[in-house]
Structure 1
Amino acid sequence: MDTSSIFAVAATNKTEKWVDAFRKRAPELRVEALDDVANPDDVHWIATWETAPGRFASLKNLRAVFAMGAGVEKFLGRDDLSDTVPLIRLNDAGMAEQMFDYALYAALTVLRSFDQYARDQAEFTWKPRAPRSRASLRVTVLGLGTLGGYVATHLAQHGFTVSGWSRTEKTLPGVRWHGALDMLLGETDLLVSILPLTDETRGLLNARRLALLPRGAYVVNAGRGDQLDLDALLNLLDSGHLRGAQLDVFPIEPLPATHPAWENPTLRITPHAAAFTLIDEAVDQMVTKLAQFERGETVEGTVDRSRSY
Protein backbone atom coordinates (compact mmCIF):
# COMPACT_ATOMS: atom_id res chain seq x y z
CA MET A 1 0.00 0.00 0.00
CA ASP A 2 1.05 3.59 -0.59
CA THR A 3 2.46 4.77 2.77
CA SER A 4 1.33 8.33 2.00
CA SER A 5 -2.31 7.20 2.09
CA ILE A 6 -4.07 7.68 5.41
CA PHE A 7 -6.38 5.27 7.19
CA ALA A 8 -8.43 7.70 9.27
CA VAL A 9 -10.28 6.90 12.47
CA ALA A 10 -13.29 8.83 13.74
CA ALA A 11 -14.84 7.20 16.80
CA THR A 12 -17.47 8.91 18.92
CA ASN A 13 -15.21 8.26 21.89
CA LYS A 14 -11.95 6.45 22.66
CA THR A 15 -10.49 7.54 19.30
CA GLU A 16 -6.96 7.39 20.70
CA LYS A 17 -7.48 3.77 21.81
CA TRP A 18 -8.75 2.87 18.34
CA VAL A 19 -5.80 4.59 16.65
CA ASP A 20 -3.33 2.85 18.96
CA ALA A 21 -4.97 -0.52 18.29
CA PHE A 22 -4.80 -0.01 14.52
CA ARG A 23 -1.14 1.05 14.69
CA LYS A 24 -0.27 -1.98 16.79
CA ARG A 25 -2.14 -4.41 14.54
CA ALA A 26 -1.02 -2.91 11.23
CA PRO A 27 2.20 -0.88 11.61
CA GLU A 28 2.49 -0.72 7.82
CA LEU A 29 -0.58 1.55 7.70
CA ARG A 30 -0.47 5.29 8.20
CA VAL A 31 -3.22 5.62 10.79
CA GLU A 32 -4.41 9.00 12.08
CA ALA A 33 -7.41 10.38 13.92
CA LEU A 34 -9.57 12.15 11.36
CA ASP A 35 -9.45 15.39 13.34
CA ASP A 36 -5.64 15.34 13.17
CA VAL A 37 -5.41 14.92 9.39
CA ALA A 38 -3.72 17.95 7.81
CA ASN A 39 -4.70 17.18 4.21
CA PRO A 40 -8.08 15.42 3.79
CA ASP A 41 -7.07 14.45 0.24
CA ASP A 42 -4.65 11.93 1.78
CA VAL A 43 -7.46 9.97 3.43
CA HIS A 44 -8.19 6.86 1.38
CA TRP A 45 -10.02 4.79 4.02
CA ILE A 46 -11.89 5.61 7.18
CA ALA A 47 -13.19 3.63 10.15
CA THR A 48 -16.02 5.37 11.97
CA TRP A 49 -19.32 5.07 13.85
CA GLU A 50 -20.61 8.18 12.12
CA THR A 51 -19.33 11.62 11.13
CA ALA A 52 -20.80 15.09 11.21
CA PRO A 53 -23.06 16.03 8.27
CA GLY A 54 -20.99 17.00 5.23
CA ARG A 55 -17.73 15.60 6.62
CA PHE A 56 -17.37 12.89 3.97
CA ALA A 57 -17.54 15.55 1.24
CA SER A 58 -14.07 16.77 2.21
CA LEU A 59 -12.59 13.30 1.69
CA LYS A 60 -12.35 13.46 -2.09
CA ASN A 61 -10.10 10.40 -2.46
CA LEU A 62 -12.03 8.12 -0.15
CA ARG A 63 -11.90 4.52 -1.35
CA ALA A 64 -13.86 2.71 1.37
CA VAL A 65 -15.71 3.30 4.63
CA PHE A 66 -15.44 0.76 7.45
CA ALA A 67 -18.35 0.89 9.89
CA MET A 68 -17.34 0.23 13.49
CA GLY A 69 -20.47 -1.83 14.11
CA ALA A 70 -22.96 -4.16 12.46
CA GLY A 71 -25.60 -1.45 11.89
CA VAL A 72 -25.09 0.93 8.97
CA GLU A 73 -28.31 2.95 8.78
CA LYS A 74 -26.48 6.17 9.77
CA PHE A 75 -24.35 5.92 6.63
CA LEU A 76 -27.17 5.39 4.16
CA GLY A 77 -28.84 8.18 2.23
CA ARG A 78 -26.17 10.75 3.13
CA ASP A 79 -25.67 13.50 0.56
CA ASP A 80 -21.94 13.64 1.31
CA LEU A 81 -21.20 9.92 0.83
CA SER A 82 -21.36 8.59 -2.71
CA ASP A 83 -23.01 5.24 -3.30
CA THR A 84 -19.94 4.33 -5.35
CA VAL A 85 -17.78 4.28 -2.20
CA PRO A 86 -17.92 0.76 -0.70
CA LEU A 87 -19.36 0.59 2.80
CA ILE A 88 -18.09 -2.36 4.84
CA ARG A 89 -19.64 -3.38 8.17
CA LEU A 90 -18.40 -5.63 10.94
CA ASN A 91 -19.70 -9.20 11.00
CA ASP A 92 -19.16 -9.93 14.67
CA ALA A 93 -16.10 -8.51 16.48
CA GLY A 94 -17.11 -10.09 19.77
CA MET A 95 -20.76 -8.99 19.54
CA ALA A 96 -22.38 -12.36 18.75
CA GLU A 97 -21.50 -14.00 22.04
CA GLN A 98 -22.71 -10.96 23.98
CA MET A 99 -25.96 -10.95 22.02
CA PHE A 100 -26.45 -14.62 22.82
CA ASP A 101 -25.96 -13.86 26.51
CA TYR A 102 -28.64 -11.17 26.26
CA ALA A 103 -31.12 -13.52 24.60
CA LEU A 104 -30.28 -16.41 26.94
CA TYR A 105 -30.92 -14.17 29.93
CA ALA A 106 -34.42 -13.49 28.62
CA ALA A 107 -35.01 -17.18 27.85
CA LEU A 108 -34.01 -18.21 31.37
CA THR A 109 -36.09 -15.38 32.83
CA VAL A 110 -39.18 -16.80 31.15
CA LEU A 111 -38.26 -20.45 31.67
CA ARG A 112 -37.55 -20.13 35.40
CA SER A 113 -40.09 -17.37 36.19
CA PHE A 114 -37.40 -14.99 37.42
CA ASP A 115 -39.45 -11.98 36.28
CA GLN A 116 -42.44 -13.16 38.27
CA TYR A 117 -40.33 -13.89 41.34
CA ALA A 118 -38.97 -10.32 41.20
CA ARG A 119 -42.52 -8.98 41.29
CA ASP A 120 -43.41 -11.41 44.08
CA GLN A 121 -40.50 -10.10 46.13
CA ALA A 122 -41.72 -6.52 45.72
CA GLU A 123 -45.08 -7.68 47.11
CA PHE A 124 -43.54 -9.83 49.91
CA THR A 125 -45.06 -12.93 48.29
CA TRP A 126 -43.67 -16.47 48.62
CA LYS A 127 -44.98 -18.42 45.63
CA PRO A 128 -42.95 -21.27 44.11
CA ARG A 129 -43.74 -22.01 40.47
CA ALA A 130 -43.53 -25.32 38.66
CA PRO A 131 -40.56 -25.76 36.31
CA ARG A 132 -40.88 -26.36 32.57
CA SER A 133 -38.58 -28.00 30.04
CA ARG A 134 -36.40 -25.91 27.73
CA ALA A 135 -37.91 -27.68 24.73
CA SER A 136 -41.34 -26.39 25.74
CA LEU A 137 -40.24 -22.77 25.25
CA ARG A 138 -40.82 -21.78 21.62
CA VAL A 139 -38.26 -19.13 20.71
CA THR A 140 -38.44 -17.11 17.49
CA VAL A 141 -35.38 -15.14 16.36
CA LEU A 142 -35.98 -12.36 13.83
CA GLY A 143 -32.88 -11.80 11.72
CA LEU A 144 -30.53 -14.68 10.94
CA GLY A 145 -27.39 -12.87 9.89
CA THR A 146 -24.08 -13.20 11.71
CA LEU A 147 -25.48 -12.13 15.08
CA GLY A 148 -28.98 -13.57 14.80
CA GLY A 149 -27.75 -16.83 13.34
CA TYR A 150 -25.32 -17.26 16.23
CA VAL A 151 -28.05 -16.53 18.77
CA ALA A 152 -30.54 -18.90 17.15
CA THR A 153 -28.16 -21.84 16.79
CA HIS A 154 -26.77 -21.48 20.31
CA LEU A 155 -30.24 -21.27 21.86
CA ALA A 156 -31.08 -24.46 19.97
CA GLN A 157 -27.90 -26.08 21.29
CA HIS A 158 -29.08 -25.21 24.80
CA GLY A 159 -32.26 -27.19 24.27
CA PHE A 160 -34.79 -24.53 23.34
CA THR A 161 -37.18 -25.02 20.43
CA VAL A 162 -36.00 -22.37 17.99
CA SER A 163 -37.48 -20.95 14.80
CA GLY A 164 -36.08 -18.13 12.73
CA TRP A 165 -37.35 -15.57 10.28
CA SER A 166 -35.30 -13.64 7.74
CA ARG A 167 -35.69 -12.07 4.33
CA THR A 168 -34.02 -15.03 2.65
CA GLU A 169 -34.23 -18.68 3.64
CA LYS A 170 -31.45 -19.86 5.92
CA THR A 171 -30.38 -23.37 6.88
CA LEU A 172 -29.02 -23.41 10.43
CA PRO A 173 -28.48 -26.47 12.66
CA GLY A 174 -31.36 -26.98 15.05
CA VAL A 175 -33.28 -23.96 13.75
CA ARG A 176 -36.50 -24.14 11.76
CA TRP A 177 -36.65 -21.34 9.17
CA HIS A 178 -40.13 -19.92 8.60
CA GLY A 179 -41.00 -17.42 5.88
CA ALA A 180 -44.51 -16.47 7.06
CA LEU A 181 -43.97 -14.00 9.89
CA ASP A 182 -47.59 -13.57 10.94
CA MET A 183 -48.10 -17.32 11.28
CA LEU A 184 -44.81 -17.73 13.14
CA LEU A 185 -45.70 -15.05 15.69
CA GLY A 186 -48.75 -17.06 16.69
CA GLU A 187 -46.44 -19.96 17.62
CA THR A 188 -43.98 -17.92 19.70
CA ASP A 189 -43.44 -17.83 23.46
CA LEU A 190 -40.27 -15.71 23.33
CA LEU A 191 -39.69 -13.29 20.45
CA VAL A 192 -36.11 -12.07 19.96
CA SER A 193 -35.53 -9.39 17.32
CA ILE A 194 -31.97 -8.81 16.09
CA LEU A 195 -32.92 -7.31 12.74
CA PRO A 196 -31.03 -4.51 10.98
CA LEU A 197 -32.98 -1.32 10.30
CA THR A 198 -34.18 -1.21 6.70
CA ASP A 199 -37.24 0.15 4.90
CA GLU A 200 -38.76 -3.32 5.25
CA THR A 201 -38.07 -3.72 8.98
CA ARG A 202 -39.00 -0.20 10.08
CA GLY A 203 -42.26 -0.57 12.01
CA LEU A 204 -42.28 -4.33 11.41
CA LEU A 205 -43.45 -5.12 14.94
CA ASN A 206 -46.53 -2.93 14.86
CA ALA A 207 -49.67 -3.17 16.99
CA ARG A 208 -51.27 -5.76 14.70
CA ARG A 209 -48.28 -8.09 14.67
CA LEU A 210 -47.56 -7.79 18.38
CA ALA A 211 -51.17 -8.75 19.07
CA LEU A 212 -50.62 -11.98 17.09
CA LEU A 213 -48.31 -13.24 19.80
CA PRO A 214 -50.01 -15.73 22.14
CA ARG A 215 -51.18 -14.53 25.53
CA GLY A 216 -48.25 -14.73 27.93
CA ALA A 217 -45.54 -14.24 25.30
CA TYR A 218 -42.36 -12.30 26.05
CA VAL A 219 -40.68 -9.81 23.68
CA VAL A 220 -36.99 -8.94 23.32
CA ASN A 221 -35.76 -6.21 20.99
CA ALA A 222 -32.01 -5.85 20.51
CA GLY A 223 -32.21 -4.73 16.87
CA ARG A 224 -33.31 -1.13 16.38
CA GLY A 225 -35.93 0.90 18.21
CA ASP A 226 -37.77 2.03 15.09
CA GLN A 227 -38.75 -1.57 14.35
CA LEU A 228 -41.15 -1.86 17.28
CA ASP A 229 -44.25 0.16 18.19
CA LEU A 230 -43.39 0.97 21.79
CA ASP A 231 -46.83 2.38 22.65
CA ALA A 232 -48.52 -0.75 21.31
CA LEU A 233 -46.15 -2.93 23.31
CA LEU A 234 -46.90 -1.03 26.51
CA ASN A 235 -50.64 -1.37 25.89
CA LEU A 236 -50.29 -5.15 25.48
CA LEU A 237 -48.18 -5.34 28.64
CA ASP A 238 -50.69 -3.28 30.61
CA SER A 239 -53.60 -5.40 29.39
CA GLY A 240 -51.83 -8.57 30.46
CA HIS A 241 -51.77 -10.03 26.96
CA LEU A 242 -47.96 -10.00 26.98
CA ARG A 243 -46.13 -11.35 30.01
CA GLY A 244 -43.17 -9.01 29.71
CA ALA A 245 -40.47 -7.50 27.54
CA GLN A 246 -36.76 -6.78 27.51
CA LEU A 247 -35.78 -3.79 25.38
CA ASP A 248 -32.27 -2.59 24.56
CA VAL A 249 -33.14 -0.13 21.80
CA PHE A 250 -35.67 2.68 21.49
CA PRO A 251 -36.91 5.16 18.87
CA ILE A 252 -35.28 7.96 20.89
CA GLU A 253 -32.05 7.29 22.76
CA PRO A 254 -31.41 7.86 25.57
CA LEU A 255 -34.98 6.99 26.50
CA PRO A 256 -36.43 10.20 28.02
CA ALA A 257 -36.70 10.05 31.81
CA THR A 258 -40.37 11.04 31.55
CA HIS A 259 -41.31 8.12 29.30
CA PRO A 260 -43.87 5.77 30.90
CA ALA A 261 -41.84 2.73 29.85
CA TRP A 262 -39.53 3.30 32.82
CA GLU A 263 -42.35 2.63 35.29
CA ASN A 264 -43.76 -0.51 33.69
CA PRO A 265 -43.07 -3.40 36.11
CA THR A 266 -43.13 -6.02 33.36
CA LEU A 267 -40.58 -4.23 31.18
CA ARG A 268 -36.82 -4.58 31.63
CA ILE A 269 -34.79 -1.74 30.07
CA THR A 270 -31.10 -1.81 29.11
CA PRO A 271 -29.27 1.22 27.60
CA HIS A 272 -28.32 -0.09 24.13
CA ALA A 273 -25.90 -2.42 25.88
CA ALA A 274 -26.83 -5.86 24.55
CA ALA A 275 -23.57 -6.13 22.60
CA PHE A 276 -20.58 -3.82 22.39
CA THR A 277 -17.93 -3.74 19.69
CA LEU A 278 -14.66 -5.02 21.15
CA ILE A 279 -11.83 -2.84 19.90
CA ASP A 280 -9.10 -5.43 19.31
CA GLU A 281 -11.45 -7.87 17.60
CA ALA A 282 -12.95 -5.11 15.45
CA VAL A 283 -9.55 -3.73 14.44
CA ASP A 284 -8.30 -7.18 13.48
CA GLN A 285 -11.39 -7.73 11.34
CA MET A 286 -11.14 -4.33 9.62
CA VAL A 287 -7.45 -4.72 8.85
CA THR A 288 -8.17 -8.13 7.32
CA LYS A 289 -11.04 -6.70 5.28
CA LEU A 290 -8.87 -3.80 4.11
CA ALA A 291 -6.22 -6.21 2.81
CA GLN A 292 -8.89 -8.19 0.98
CA PHE A 293 -10.34 -4.99 -0.46
CA GLU A 294 -6.98 -3.78 -1.71
CA ARG A 295 -6.32 -7.15 -3.36
CA GLY A 296 -9.63 -6.87 -5.18
CA GLU A 297 -11.14 -9.84 -3.35
CA THR A 298 -14.72 -10.23 -2.20
CA VAL A 299 -15.07 -8.67 1.24
CA GLU A 300 -17.61 -10.17 3.62
CA GLY A 301 -19.75 -7.44 5.14
CA THR A 302 -19.79 -5.18 2.08
CA VAL A 303 -23.16 -3.46 2.30
CA ASP A 304 -25.74 -3.89 -0.43
CA ARG A 305 -27.26 -0.41 -0.29
CA SER A 306 -30.42 -1.61 -2.01
CA ARG A 307 -31.04 -3.85 1.01
CA SER A 308 -29.56 -1.51 3.63
CA TYR A 309 -27.27 -4.22 5.02
Structure 2
Amino acid sequence: MTAGPQTVPIRPLASPAGGVYRDALVEVRAQSGPTPRRDLQTVRTPHFDLTPAGHRVSVVHRVDPERIDDDLSGILADELFQPGWLRGGELFEHLFTGVVLSSHPDPLVAWEGFYRNTLARVAVSTGGAPAAAAGHGTIAGYAPVYAHVERLLLPGSVLELGSCFGFLSLRLAEAGRDVTASDISTGTVDLLSAVAPRLGVDLATRVDDAARVHLPDDSVDNVLAIHLLEHLEPRHGARVLAEAIRLARRRVVVAVPLEDEADATWGHVRTISLADLAAWGAATGLPHQVTEHHGGWLVMDVAPQTPGARRLRNPTTPAHPEEP
Protein backbone atom coordinates (compact mmCIF):
# COMPACT_ATOMS: atom_id res chain seq x y z
CA MET A 1 0.00 0.00 0.00
CA THR A 2 1.36 3.44 -0.87
CA ALA A 3 0.28 7.03 -0.78
CA GLY A 4 -1.07 8.62 -3.92
CA PRO A 5 1.21 10.79 -6.06
CA GLN A 6 -0.45 14.06 -5.08
CA THR A 7 0.64 16.31 -2.26
CA VAL A 8 -2.34 16.72 0.05
CA PRO A 9 -2.27 19.53 2.63
CA ILE A 10 -2.78 18.46 6.22
CA ARG A 11 -5.35 20.43 8.20
CA PRO A 12 -4.35 19.72 11.80
CA LEU A 13 -7.19 21.78 13.27
CA ALA A 14 -9.98 20.21 11.21
CA SER A 15 -12.77 18.65 13.26
CA PRO A 16 -13.27 14.93 12.60
CA ALA A 17 -16.76 14.18 11.31
CA GLY A 18 -18.44 11.60 13.52
CA GLY A 19 -15.13 10.77 15.14
CA VAL A 20 -13.53 9.91 11.78
CA TYR A 21 -10.60 11.87 10.36
CA ARG A 22 -10.86 11.72 6.57
CA ASP A 23 -8.85 13.36 3.80
CA ALA A 24 -7.77 12.40 0.28
CA LEU A 25 -5.24 9.85 1.54
CA VAL A 26 -6.51 8.34 4.78
CA GLU A 27 -9.55 7.53 6.87
CA VAL A 28 -8.78 7.10 10.57
CA ARG A 29 -10.99 6.36 13.55
CA ALA A 30 -10.53 5.07 17.07
CA GLN A 31 -11.88 1.61 17.79
CA SER A 32 -15.01 1.51 19.89
CA GLY A 33 -16.17 -1.69 21.53
CA PRO A 34 -14.63 -5.16 21.12
CA THR A 35 -12.09 -5.81 18.40
CA PRO A 36 -14.00 -7.10 15.36
CA ARG A 37 -13.07 -10.26 13.52
CA ARG A 38 -10.33 -9.60 10.98
CA ASP A 39 -11.33 -10.05 7.35
CA LEU A 40 -9.01 -11.20 4.58
CA GLN A 41 -8.14 -7.66 3.45
CA THR A 42 -7.26 -6.36 6.91
CA VAL A 43 -3.74 -6.18 8.31
CA ARG A 44 -3.91 -6.30 12.11
CA THR A 45 -1.10 -5.14 14.39
CA PRO A 46 -1.15 -4.53 18.16
CA HIS A 47 -2.45 -0.98 17.68
CA PHE A 48 -3.96 -0.85 14.19
CA ASP A 49 -6.32 -2.49 11.73
CA LEU A 50 -5.29 -1.47 8.21
CA THR A 51 -7.62 -1.94 5.24
CA PRO A 52 -7.56 -0.56 1.67
CA ALA A 53 -10.50 1.78 1.03
CA GLY A 54 -10.43 2.72 -2.63
CA HIS A 55 -7.84 5.45 -3.12
CA ARG A 56 -7.58 5.88 0.67
CA VAL A 57 -6.04 3.82 3.41
CA SER A 58 -8.48 3.04 6.22
CA VAL A 59 -7.03 2.65 9.73
CA VAL A 60 -8.78 1.79 12.97
CA HIS A 61 -6.50 2.41 15.96
CA ARG A 62 -6.36 1.18 19.53
CA VAL A 63 -4.24 3.94 21.08
CA ASP A 64 -5.67 5.30 24.34
CA PRO A 65 -5.87 9.13 24.48
CA GLU A 66 -3.56 9.24 27.52
CA ARG A 67 -0.95 7.36 25.47
CA ILE A 68 -1.16 9.65 22.42
CA ASP A 69 2.17 11.46 22.49
CA ASP A 70 5.11 11.76 20.12
CA ASP A 71 5.96 8.09 20.62
CA LEU A 72 3.06 7.54 18.24
CA SER A 73 5.68 8.12 15.53
CA GLY A 74 7.56 5.05 16.68
CA ILE A 75 4.41 2.94 16.90
CA LEU A 76 3.41 3.83 13.33
CA ALA A 77 6.92 3.19 12.06
CA ASP A 78 7.33 -0.14 13.87
CA GLU A 79 3.94 -1.60 13.03
CA LEU A 80 2.99 -0.20 9.61
CA PHE A 81 5.94 1.37 7.78
CA GLN A 82 9.07 -0.59 8.61
CA PRO A 83 7.35 -3.94 7.87
CA GLY A 84 6.42 -2.49 4.47
CA TRP A 85 2.63 -2.39 4.81
CA LEU A 86 2.76 1.34 4.03
CA ARG A 87 5.33 3.64 2.47
CA GLY A 88 5.95 7.35 2.18
CA GLY A 89 6.52 10.29 4.49
CA GLU A 90 3.36 12.06 3.35
CA LEU A 91 1.15 9.10 4.24
CA PHE A 92 2.95 8.78 7.58
CA GLU A 93 2.12 12.40 8.47
CA HIS A 94 -1.54 12.03 7.48
CA LEU A 95 -1.98 8.90 9.57
CA PHE A 96 -0.24 10.52 12.54
CA THR A 97 -2.59 13.51 12.30
CA GLY A 98 -5.59 11.23 11.94
CA VAL A 99 -4.81 9.24 15.07
CA VAL A 100 -4.45 12.41 17.14
CA LEU A 101 -7.59 14.10 15.78
CA SER A 102 -9.72 10.97 16.14
CA SER A 103 -8.94 10.89 19.88
CA HIS A 104 -11.37 13.73 20.72
CA PRO A 105 -14.20 15.59 18.93
CA ASP A 106 -12.51 18.97 19.57
CA PRO A 107 -9.24 19.18 17.60
CA LEU A 108 -7.66 21.66 20.02
CA VAL A 109 -8.42 19.39 22.97
CA ALA A 110 -6.93 16.45 21.07
CA TRP A 111 -3.72 18.33 20.25
CA GLU A 112 -3.44 19.82 23.74
CA GLY A 113 -3.53 16.29 25.14
CA PHE A 114 -0.86 15.20 22.66
CA TYR A 115 1.39 18.12 23.63
CA ARG A 116 0.87 17.70 27.37
CA ASN A 117 1.56 13.96 27.22
CA THR A 118 4.70 14.49 25.16
CA LEU A 119 6.13 17.33 27.24
CA ALA A 120 5.49 15.41 30.46
CA ARG A 121 7.39 12.40 29.14
CA VAL A 122 10.20 14.57 27.81
CA ALA A 123 10.49 16.09 31.29
CA VAL A 124 10.76 12.63 32.84
CA SER A 125 13.44 11.59 30.34
CA THR A 126 15.50 14.76 30.71
CA GLY A 127 15.26 14.45 34.50
CA GLY A 128 17.56 11.45 34.46
CA ALA A 129 14.95 8.79 35.29
CA PRO A 130 13.84 6.17 32.76
CA ALA A 131 10.95 7.48 30.69
CA ALA A 132 7.65 5.75 31.27
CA ALA A 133 6.51 3.54 28.39
CA ALA A 134 9.29 4.73 26.09
CA GLY A 135 9.79 1.37 24.45
CA HIS A 136 9.50 2.74 20.93
CA GLY A 137 12.28 5.17 21.73
CA THR A 138 11.08 8.32 20.02
CA ILE A 139 10.83 10.53 23.10
CA ALA A 140 13.59 8.67 24.92
CA GLY A 141 15.77 9.22 21.86
CA TYR A 142 15.39 12.97 21.52
CA ALA A 143 14.97 13.97 25.17
CA PRO A 144 18.76 13.81 25.77
CA VAL A 145 19.23 15.90 22.62
CA TYR A 146 16.96 18.59 24.07
CA ALA A 147 18.81 18.46 27.39
CA HIS A 148 22.14 18.92 25.58
CA VAL A 149 20.80 21.90 23.63
CA GLU A 150 19.77 23.51 26.90
CA ARG A 151 23.31 23.09 28.26
CA LEU A 152 24.88 24.56 25.12
CA LEU A 153 22.81 27.74 24.89
CA LEU A 154 24.35 31.07 25.77
CA PRO A 155 22.27 33.66 27.63
CA GLY A 156 19.73 35.53 25.56
CA SER A 157 17.11 34.92 22.91
CA VAL A 158 16.63 31.79 20.80
CA LEU A 159 15.43 31.12 17.25
CA GLU A 160 14.70 27.48 16.39
CA LEU A 161 14.78 26.75 12.66
CA GLY A 162 12.65 23.83 11.50
CA SER A 163 10.89 23.60 14.85
CA CYS A 164 8.21 21.11 13.68
CA PHE A 165 5.83 20.54 16.63
CA GLY A 166 7.94 22.93 18.72
CA PHE A 167 8.53 20.78 21.81
CA LEU A 168 12.05 22.15 22.28
CA SER A 169 10.92 25.75 21.77
CA LEU A 170 8.11 25.25 24.28
CA ARG A 171 10.53 23.89 26.88
CA LEU A 172 12.90 26.82 26.39
CA ALA A 173 10.10 29.39 26.53
CA GLU A 174 8.62 27.76 29.63
CA ALA A 175 12.06 28.13 31.26
CA GLY A 176 11.90 31.90 30.67
CA ARG A 177 13.72 32.27 27.36
CA ASP A 178 12.66 34.71 24.64
CA VAL A 179 11.95 32.09 21.95
CA THR A 180 10.86 32.14 18.33
CA ALA A 181 9.86 28.85 16.68
CA SER A 182 10.10 28.83 12.88
CA ASP A 183 9.00 26.19 10.40
CA ILE A 184 8.17 26.02 6.70
CA SER A 185 4.84 24.26 7.35
CA THR A 186 1.99 26.72 7.85
CA GLY A 187 -0.19 24.03 9.40
CA THR A 188 2.43 23.08 11.95
CA VAL A 189 3.09 26.69 12.90
CA ASP A 190 -0.64 27.40 13.20
CA LEU A 191 -0.99 24.37 15.46
CA LEU A 192 1.86 25.47 17.73
CA SER A 193 0.46 29.02 17.85
CA ALA A 194 -2.96 27.67 18.88
CA VAL A 195 -1.75 25.19 21.49
CA ALA A 196 0.99 27.24 23.22
CA PRO A 197 -1.47 29.60 25.00
CA ARG A 198 -3.48 26.59 26.20
CA LEU A 199 -0.25 25.30 27.76
CA GLY A 200 0.42 28.68 29.39
CA VAL A 201 3.58 29.23 27.33
CA ASP A 202 4.48 32.52 25.65
CA LEU A 203 6.53 32.18 22.48
CA ALA A 204 6.64 33.70 19.01
CA THR A 205 6.10 31.67 15.83
CA ARG A 206 7.02 32.25 12.20
CA VAL A 207 6.43 30.53 8.86
CA ASP A 208 9.78 30.60 7.05
CA ASP A 209 12.03 28.44 4.94
CA ALA A 210 15.05 27.99 7.21
CA ALA A 211 17.25 29.08 4.31
CA ARG A 212 15.40 32.37 3.91
CA VAL A 213 14.24 33.83 7.21
CA HIS A 214 12.83 37.32 6.93
CA LEU A 215 14.64 38.79 9.90
CA PRO A 216 17.60 41.22 9.96
CA ASP A 217 21.21 40.25 10.57
CA ASP A 218 22.19 39.54 14.18
CA SER A 219 18.54 39.16 15.23
CA VAL A 220 18.88 36.63 18.05
CA ASP A 221 21.56 35.43 20.44
CA ASN A 222 21.23 31.69 19.71
CA VAL A 223 20.10 30.00 16.48
CA LEU A 224 19.24 26.29 16.53
CA ALA A 225 19.07 23.76 13.68
CA ILE A 226 18.29 20.58 15.62
CA HIS A 227 17.76 17.46 13.52
CA LEU A 228 16.91 19.58 10.50
CA LEU A 229 19.76 19.27 7.97
CA GLU A 230 19.29 15.53 7.37
CA HIS A 231 15.87 16.43 5.90
CA LEU A 232 17.40 18.81 3.33
CA GLU A 233 19.38 18.30 0.15
CA PRO A 234 23.02 19.50 0.43
CA ARG A 235 22.58 22.85 -1.37
CA HIS A 236 19.53 23.71 0.70
CA GLY A 237 21.31 22.66 3.89
CA ALA A 238 24.31 24.85 3.07
CA ARG A 239 22.05 27.85 2.72
CA VAL A 240 20.42 27.07 6.08
CA LEU A 241 23.85 27.09 7.75
CA ALA A 242 24.70 30.43 6.14
CA GLU A 243 21.35 31.86 7.24
CA ALA A 244 21.82 30.64 10.81
CA ILE A 245 25.20 32.37 10.97
CA ARG A 246 23.71 35.57 9.53
CA LEU A 247 20.94 35.64 12.11
CA ALA A 248 22.98 34.76 15.20
CA ARG A 249 24.57 37.34 17.47
CA ARG A 250 26.38 34.81 19.64
CA ARG A 251 26.01 31.08 18.89
CA VAL A 252 24.73 28.59 16.31
CA VAL A 253 23.96 25.03 17.44
CA VAL A 254 23.50 22.25 14.88
CA ALA A 255 22.58 18.67 15.74
CA VAL A 256 22.13 15.70 13.37
CA PRO A 257 21.58 11.97 13.76
CA LEU A 258 24.55 9.79 12.84
CA GLU A 259 23.16 7.17 10.47
CA ASP A 260 24.71 4.60 8.15
CA GLU A 261 21.75 5.06 5.80
CA ALA A 262 19.24 7.90 5.59
CA ASP A 263 16.04 6.73 7.28
CA ALA A 264 13.26 7.60 4.84
CA THR A 265 10.59 6.73 7.40
CA TRP A 266 11.50 9.94 9.23
CA GLY A 267 11.92 11.96 6.04
CA HIS A 268 15.73 11.85 6.01
CA VAL A 269 17.25 12.38 2.57
CA ARG A 270 20.96 12.14 3.40
CA THR A 271 23.46 11.06 6.02
CA ILE A 272 25.77 13.53 7.77
CA SER A 273 28.98 12.49 9.50
CA LEU A 274 31.17 14.10 12.13
CA ALA A 275 33.68 14.76 9.35
CA ASP A 276 30.99 16.67 7.43
CA LEU A 277 30.23 18.78 10.48
CA ALA A 278 33.93 19.50 10.99
CA ALA A 279 34.33 20.55 7.35
CA TRP A 280 31.33 22.86 7.57
CA GLY A 281 32.65 24.47 10.72
CA ALA A 282 36.10 24.98 9.22
CA ALA A 283 34.62 26.53 6.07
CA THR A 284 32.92 29.29 8.07
CA GLY A 285 36.17 30.52 9.64
CA LEU A 286 34.32 30.82 12.95
CA PRO A 287 35.43 29.29 16.26
CA HIS A 288 33.63 25.95 16.37
CA GLN A 289 33.49 22.60 18.07
CA VAL A 290 32.32 19.20 16.80
CA THR A 291 31.26 16.55 19.30
CA GLU A 292 29.19 13.39 19.56
CA HIS A 293 26.34 13.05 22.08
CA HIS A 294 23.27 11.09 20.97
CA GLY A 295 24.24 12.16 17.45
CA GLY A 296 26.60 14.72 15.98
CA TRP A 297 26.95 18.36 17.05
CA LEU A 298 28.44 21.47 15.50
CA VAL A 299 28.58 24.55 17.73
CA MET A 300 29.78 27.81 16.17
CA ASP A 301 30.45 31.00 18.08
CA VAL A 302 29.81 34.22 16.22
CA ALA A 303 32.13 37.01 17.35
CA PRO A 304 31.20 40.69 16.85
CA GLN A 305 32.43 41.87 13.48
CA THR A 306 31.79 44.43 10.81
CA PRO A 307 28.56 44.17 8.80
CA GLY A 308 28.79 41.58 6.03
CA ALA A 309 31.99 40.00 7.29
CA ARG A 310 30.31 36.69 8.02
CA ARG A 311 29.05 36.40 4.49
CA LEU A 312 32.58 36.89 3.17
CA ARG A 313 33.71 33.82 5.10
CA ASN A 314 31.57 31.66 2.82
CA PRO A 315 31.21 33.64 -0.41
CA THR A 316 29.56 30.75 -2.30
CA THR A 317 26.57 30.80 0.07
CA PRO A 318 24.80 34.19 0.06
CA ALA A 319 22.56 35.12 2.96
CA HIS A 320 19.39 35.06 0.82
CA PRO A 321 20.15 32.75 -2.12
CA GLU A 322 17.62 32.04 -4.81
CA GLU A 323 15.91 28.68 -4.61
CA PRO A 324 17.17 26.14 -7.17
Which TM class, normalised by the smaller chain length? 0.3 to 0.5
TM-score (norm 1): 0.41
